[in-house]
């Protein structure tokens, strides 16, 4: 942080604080801020009262295209796209705002948010990197996250055609999740 202004450093600490409060992993903080690892560890421990989790970040694009994660990922990306097209927000600030709106939308709909801020950030990186993209459902018209290099001439989303096991296995809210998400996305 040598030769940086106090204001710039304060902005970096504010950004890192906001990300930690949202549950961001240390790797995300290291990538999105210019703060040292030691400083980030100290900040994380001060805010959360514990050391950050260890281990690798989620790295599989396949997770985002499975049924329920796809609904949440698609909702998040739709919110993010709206924000970047209609506001001056860009980069990590847009991701933070979109993630907060996603959480609020889940809370209002009484849904359990399954997309963490780290996964949301990873999703954006996968889309920017060309691994994933969105495509419109031919039935409801909503945009959904799909693999970038697959063909989707007549794509039908997981809301319009849920898998046969959706809503089974001790998760009775799954059918309601589909209905609520369709109302939000559509």
Q: Where are the domains of the chain?
A: 6-48, 61-185
> Using an 8 Å Cβ cutoff, are 72 and 114 in contact?
yes
Each residue's pLDDT tens digit, 92-149: 999 999 999 999 998 898 889 999 999 999 999 999 999 999 999 999 999 999 999 9
Residue 99 makes CB contacts below 8 A (sequence gap 6+) with 22, 76, 115, 117, 120
> Above 90 in pLDDT, residue 153?
no
Sign of CA dihedral 78, 57, 127, 171: negative
Each residue's pLDDT tens digit, 34-90: 999 999 999 999 999 999 988 887 778 999 999 999 999 999 999 999 999 999 999
Question: What angle, 0 to 180 degrees and rounded to 10, lies between the N-to-C axes of helices 67-86 and 117-128?
Answer: 70
């Amino acid at each position: 942080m040598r030769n940086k202004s106090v204001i710039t450093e304060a902005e970096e600490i504010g950004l890192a604080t906001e990300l930690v409060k949202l549950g961001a992993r240390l790797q995300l903080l290291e990538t999105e801020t210019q703060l040292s690892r030691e400083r980030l560890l100290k900040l994380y421990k001060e805010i959360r009262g514990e050391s950050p989790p260890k281990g690798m970040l989620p790295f599989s694009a396949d997770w985002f295209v499975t049924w329920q994660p796809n609904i949440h990922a698609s909702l998040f990306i739709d919110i993010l796209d709206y924000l970047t097209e209609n506001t001056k927000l860009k980069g990590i600030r847009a991701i933070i705002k979109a993630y907060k709106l996603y959480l609020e939308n889940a809370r209002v709909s009484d849904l359990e948010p399954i997309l963490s801020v780290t996964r949301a950030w990873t999703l954006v990186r996968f889309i920017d990197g060309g691994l994933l993209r969105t495509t419109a459902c031919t039935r409801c018209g909503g945009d959904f996250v799909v693999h970038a290099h697959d063909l989707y001439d007549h794509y039908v989303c997981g809301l319009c055609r849920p898998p046969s096991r959706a809503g089974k296995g001790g998760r009775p809210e799954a059918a309601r999740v589909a209905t609520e998400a369709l109302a939000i996305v559509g």
